Homo-oligomer: A and B are copies of this chain.
Amino acid sequence: MYKFVMPEVIFGSGSIQQAGESCARLGAKRALIVTDEGVIQAGWSELVEKSCRQAGLSSFVFSNVSVNPKDEEAEACARIYLENECDALIGVGGGSAIDTAKAAAILATNGGHIRDYEGVDRIFSPLPPLVMVSTTAGSGSEVSQFSVIVDTAQRKKMTIVSKSLVPDIAIVDPDVLATKSQHLTASTGLDVLTHAIESFVSIASTPLTDVHAKNALALSSRYLRPSVASKHNKEAKEQMAMASLHAGLAFSNAILGAVHAMAHAIGGRYPFLHGDINAVLLPHVMEFNLLASPDKFKEIALLMGEDVQSLPPAAAGEKAIDFVRRLSIDIGAPLTLAEMGFEGSAIPEISEMALSDACMITNPRDITAEEAAALLRKAL
C-alpha cells in the first residue's frame, strides 16, 4: 500500500501571470512573495506582484534568500509575514526561495524553531495557502513535500518532509527559463536527472512514481544538452520544465538516495550550487548502487536512448553511468568536488552527517560511513 500526493499544477507559457489569481482562489487577500535578488533582477517577481494587484491582492516581498537557504532567513521571512498580517505565501524562484517560503509557512502557523520540524511528519497545524512559481526547472520543490534548510548553528542541512509542505498550486512557466545562466541551466538540469534516477531506484518507489521518474529520465536525457546550448530553444526549455515537474512528482513520493544525502551534508557547509554537488556525486553513487538493482539501471540506460537491449543488466547499467559522465562533460558541469573548493579533510565529518539524512533511508544499497567516505574520496 502506498500514497501519492501532488498539488494542482498550472503549466505553460505565460502561466506565471496566474500567480495572483491562484492565490485569490485560495481565499487570500495579502500575499508574501518570497524570492531572491536574481529573480527580481530578471523581472519575474515584478510580474507576480502585478498579477497580485490585478487579482485584488496586497503583496509584500521578502528576498533575503541564500543559495542554500538558512534557518535565520526562514525566521526573518516568517516575521515579515506575521508583521504584515499576510494570509498566503507565493514562492518565486528555484528551490532556495520555495523552500524558504515553505519553512516560513511552518513557523507562521506552528511557531517554534525550524529545527523542531526536521525529519518526517512533524508538522501538526495546517499551513497558510501556498502558491509556488518555479523559475529553474530543477528543484521540484514547487510540487514536493520537502523543504531543505540549513541549520546555521550545526552547519548542516535539515530535510523536512511532510504532506503539509505540498503546495496548493504549483506554477511552471517555461518562459522564465530563458533568463537563466548557462551554468545554472546545467546545474539545475543535472539536479532533475539526479531526482529522476534516485527516485526510480529508491526502495520507496511505486508504480505511480516510476511513471513520473521514467518520463523525467527520458525528457532530461534528451533535452538538457539543447537547453544548455541556447537560451532561445523554447522546445528544450519547455521539455526541461516538464522533466523537472515529473522528477519532482517522483521524488516527492518515492524520496531520494545517497547522492542527495551527501549533497545535503556538503551544502550545509559550502556555498556550492546543489545541482553542481549532485552532478559530481551522481556517477559514483550509481556505480555503488548498481549492485542493488541492475534491472532498474538497465531501464535507465534504455530511457536514455542507449543501445543496450541485448546487454545483461549490469553491463547495461554501466552504459547509463557513462551517459551521465559524458553529459556532465558536454554541458560543462564540474567533475570533481575539489575544483569547487571542497576539502578532503572534511570527508569524515560529511560522511557521518550524510548517514543521518532522511534521504539515505531510501537508498537502494545499504551504506556505511566508510563507504560514504570512500565515495566522497573518489569524487574529490
By a beta-carbon cutoff of 8 Å, the part of chain A in contact with chain B is: 1-6, 8-15, 18, 163, 206-208, 211-212, 215, 242, 246
Contacts and interface: CB of A to CB of B under 8 A. Distances in A.
Contact of A10 (B1, B9, B246): B1
A208 B4 contact: no
Chain A interface SS verdict (over half): mixed
A268 to B, nearest CB: 31
A110 to B, nearest CB: 16
A299 B253 CA distance: 29
A3 B8 contact: yes
B12 A8 contact: no
Contact of A4 (B2, B3, B9, B212): B9
Max chain B Cβ within 10 angstroms of own Cβ: one of A1, A2, A211, A246: A1
Contacts of A206: 11
A8 B4 contact: yes
Contact of A11 (B2, B10, B163, B242): B2
Nearest to A163: B8
A246 B1 CA distance: 17
A8 B5 contact: yes
Contact of A9 (B5, B12, B15, B163): B5
Nearest 4 Cβ contacts at the A-B interface: A1-B12, A5-B8, A4-B9, A1-B15
Contacts of A11: 1-4, 206, 208
A218 to B, nearest CB: 11
B1 A208 contact: no
B242 A207 contact: yes
A61 to B, nearest CB: 25
14 contacts: A1-B11, A1-B12, A1-B13, A2-B11, A3-B8, A3-B11, A4-B9, A4-B11, A6-B6, A8-B163, A207-B242, A208-B242, A211-B212, A211-B215
A2 B8 contact: no
Contacts of A3: 8-11
Nearest to A16: B1
A12 B14 CA distance: 38
Nearest to A166: B8
Contact of A211 (B4, B6, B18, B211): B211
A15 B1 CA distance: 6
A263 to B, nearest CB: 28
Contacts of A1: 10-15, 18
Max chain B Cβ within 10 angstroms of own Cβ: one of A13, A15, A208: A208
A207 B218 CA distance: 14
A12 B15 CA distance: 35
A198 to B, nearest CB: 20
A15 B211 CA distance: 21
Contacts of A6: 6
Contacts of A211: 211-212, 215, 246
A4 B12 CA distance: 11
Nearest to A238: B207
